Amino acid sequence: MILLYHNVIEDSYPLDRWDVGQGLPVRCFARQLDWLRRHRRIVSLQEYLRITEYGTQPAKKVITLTFDDGLASTFRRVYPLLNLWRVSATFFISTSHLNQGGLLWFSYLNALCFDGSHDEIKVQGKTFSLRSNEHRKRTRRSLGTMARESGDPIEFTNALAKVYALPASTRAEFEGMTGEQLSLFSKSDLIECGAHTVNHPFLDQLTLDQQEQEIDNSKRRLTELTGRPVRYFAYPKGNYNHTTINLVKELGFDAAFATHYKRLCANDRFEIVRMGVYSLSFPKFWLKTQGAFAIAHRLGLAKR
C-alpha cells in the first residue's frame, strides 16, 4: 500500500483554526509511523514498485510513504522522525514556491481561510464569513470551486492575495522547501523527490504545451536542485487526462501516481493509486492499512 500525506502541523495549533482535512498534528503522524514500523515493512517507493510489479501484484504488509506539495514546514517535522527510525519516503514537490517566498495557489486559500487573519472576505461581489470553523470550511470549498471555474486558479488567487495579505508567520508555514532541505535529497539514502508540476494546476484545463511546460520544467528544476534523477510523477489533486499520461511517458518518468481510479491507460504504472491519510482517528487509519477503504473505494462505496 502507498500512503499519501500532505501537511503535518504542530500539536499546539488549534484544530478549529486549521484545515484538518489535510493537516495532521505531529503526534498523530508520529503514532502512525511508529505503528507502521512495528507492524508493517516500510520500503522505498522504488522497492515497493519492484515488489508489486508497479502495483499489479499484491504485497502483504508492505508500505511506502509519500508526501505531496513540498511544504518546508511539513518536511521540517517529518524528516527527523524518518531519520530517527530509518524510514524511507518520497516527496512530490511543486517547484514554483521553492526559495521564492510565494505560496502555491491552494496553499494561499488554505492559509486565508484557516489562519484567522480575516473575519470575512469579499470575492466577485459575494461576502464569505470566516468567523467559525464551519464558515471557514464552507468558504474554502466555495473558493476552490471558483478558482477551478475561473480557468486559471493561479491568477484567481493572485488577484485575491493583492486584497487580502497574509502575516509573514503564516506565509512561512505554507512556503516551499528550502535549499538546505532539498540538499538532503542528494545526501540521504532515505528520501527521494518526485515531480508534482510547477504551479500545481488542474492539468485537464491546460493545453498540450502548457501541460508539458508544467511537468517538464518541474522535473528539470528538481534534477538541478538535488543532483539526482527524478523518476516519478504525482498528478496534482489526482487530476489528469490522456494528454497528461502521454506526456509523462514521453518525458521519461518511470511511474505516475493518482488518488483515485480513472483507468485511462492500459499501462497501470502510470495510474498507480495511493491511499490518502487525512483523519486524526487512529482506528480509521488502522482500517485503511487493512485495505478496507481501498476495497470500498473500488466498489464506489466510500470516499478516501
3-state secondary structure the chain: CEEEECEEECCCCCHHHCCCCCEEEHHHHHHHHHHHHHHCEECCHHHHHHHHCCCCCCCCCEEEEEEEECEHHHHHHHHHHHHHHCCCEEEEECCCCCCCCCCCHHHHHHHHHHCCCCCEEEECCEEEECCCHHHHHHHHHHHHHHHHHCCCHHHHHHHHHHHCCCCHHHHHHHCECCHHHHHHHHCCCCEEEEECCCCCCCHHHCCHHHHHHHHHHHHHHHHHHHCCCCCEEECHHHCCCHHHHHHHHHCCCCEEEECCCCCCCCCHHHCEECEECCCCCHHHHHHHHCCHHHHHHHCCCCCC
The reply to whether 304 falls in a domain is no
Q: State mean pLDDT over 106-113.
A: 93
Q: Which of 171, 205, 223 is the last residue of a domain?
A: 171
Residue 51 has pLDDT above 60, yes or no: yes
Q: State mean pLDDT over 150-162.
A: 94
Name the least confident of 97-101, 181-185, 272-276. Answer: 97-101
19 and 160 in a common domain: no
Split into its structural domains, the chain has a count of 2
215 and 165 in a common domain: no
Quote the pTM value: 0.92
Percentage with pLDDT > 90 across the chain: 71
The reply to whether 292 falls in a domain is yes
Q: State mean pLDDT over 130-149.
A: 94
Which range is most confident: 50-54, 97-101, 232-236?
232-236
Residue 22 has pLDDT above 90, yes or no: no
Q: What is the pLDDT of residue 299?
A: 46
The reply to whether 194 falls in a domain is yes
Q: Which of 149, 171, 193 is the last residue of a domain?
A: 171
Domain that holds residue 117: 105-171
The reply to whether 185 falls in a domain is yes
The reply to whether 126 falls in a domain is yes
82 and 32 in a common domain: yes
47 and 164 in a common domain: no
Q: Which of 127, 142, 171 is the last residue of a domain?
A: 171
Residue 59 has pLDDT above 90, yes or no: no
Residue 291 has pLDDT above 70, yes or no: yes
